Amino acid sequence: MKRIALFLATNLVIIATLTVILSVLGIDRYGSLQGMFVFCLVWGMGGAFISLQMSRFIAKQAMGVRLVDGRTGQPDLDWTYSTIRQLTDRAGLPMPEVGFYESPEVNAFATGPSKSRSLVAVSTGLLRTMSRDEVEGVLAHEVSHIQNGDMVTMTLIQGVVNAFVMFFARVIAGILRNATDERMSGMVYFMIVMVLQMVLGIFGMMIVAWFSRAREFRADAGAGTLAGRGKMIAALQRLQQNTRTIETGHPALATMKISGARSWMALLTTHPPLEDRIAALQNAR
């Protein structure tokens, strides 16, 4: 219920903010194809970037992340903090916020609007299940995401996809309305736009998921450079043994999972199969 409430609150903030922006710009109503495109671009890109700016706060609230400073007196947490410091130093990055959350799942994630305002968090299940070499491989993977600027890249891709989905849904609905001699009521037009957005959105999700899977391979390679390829391979092999502990019941949080469950809807998964990731590292030169 807390995650649902947070999701709804976030979307209300986005809607309110973008409504004000569009009104100020004078494009809250579009009267031309160009105006429609600008309208959709503001909504698509604006929503994605507002979500990015709120990403650390959302992650902390949704996952129950508690920050640490390396002086907790708990060996595993303090070691995690110092290891992330070492990895970010090697990567030439500023120190991110570091946190943990109570969960039996074996997971870690990185998020944040920029390299200087990022967060790396791990589950207690990961710290209990993996050896320190394996955990270092996982942490290096998350630091590599930050180094590659993946959060911003995925936001740009998601924003562009959102904008085009909105735009083409309205264009197609407009063509259908013109084909019926404009006898289509506003409610029917609205319902057609919503259905088209859902259908086109599925294709858009495939595009975003493809880029997401590509970034995972790149982060694995980066982790091999930062921590050693053997540690990253060992971490992925350990994950293979613990995939059942990765919570997959919240699709909206899929990007916060280091591994996605294998699904018959392979084109919509954000993470490649673990065996493919391991093979890519083993075959790398």
Place of tokens 């671009």: 41
Residue 182's φ and ψ, nearest 5 degrees, are 60, 25
Strands 108-114 and 117-123: antiparallel
For 263, other C-beta atoms within 10 Å of its C-beta total 11
Q: What is the dihedral of CA 64, 69, 74, 80, to 10 degrees?
A: 80
CA dist., res. 22 & res. 218, Å (int)? 37
Which pLDDT value is given to residue 254?
A: 46
Q: How far apart are CA 180 and CA 267, in angstroms?
A: 36
Residue with tokens 């920029």: 114
Q: Would you give the distance in Å from CA 34 to the centre of its chain?
A: 30
The region, left, alpha or beta by phi > 0 then psi within -120 to 50, assigned to residue 68 is beta
Q: Tokens at residue 226, please? A: 């930062």
pLDDT by 10s per residue, the chain, length 285: 555 565 556 656 666 676 666 666 665 556 677 888 888 888 888 888 888 998 999 899 889 999 999 999 999 999 999 999 999 999 999 999 999 999 999 999 999 999 999 999 999 999 999 999 999 999 999 999 999 999 999 999 988 998 899 899 988 988 888 887 666 777 888 889 889 999 999 999 999 999 999 999 999 999 999 999 999 999 999 988 876 555 544 443 444 455 554 555 677 888 899 999 999 999 987
Q: Chain-centre distance of CA 177, in angstroms?
A: 36
Alpha-carbon torsion, ordered 12, 13, 15, 18, to 10 deg: 170
Q: How many CB atoms lie within 10 A of CB 37?
A: 17
Q: How far apart are CA 61 and CA 165, in angstroms?
A: 30
Q: Collapsing DSSP states into helix, strand and coil, what is residue 178?
A: helix
Domains defined along the chain, listed by start: 66-137 (3.30.2010.10)
Q: Are strands 117-123 and 97-101 parallel, antiparallel or unpaired?
A: parallel
The pLDDT value recorded for residue 177 is 82
Question: Secondary structure of the chain: what % helix, strand, coil (to 5)?
Answer: 70, 10, 20
Give the pLDDT of residue 252.
Answer: 39
- pTM of the full structure: 0.83
Token pair 């350990």 is found at 238
- The whole-angstrom separation of Cα 254 and Cα 248 is 7
pLDDT at 60: 92
Whole-number Å distance between alpha carbons of 214 and 136: 22
Hey, which residues are catalytic here?
A: 142
Q: Give the per-residue pLDDT at 104.
A: 92
Distance CA 245, CA 69 (A): 27
**Identity at 105, one-letter amino acid code:** E
- Give the containing element (helix H, strand E) for 101: strand 97-101
Tell me, what's the pLDDT at 40?
86
Q: What is the pLDDT of residue 253?
A: 42
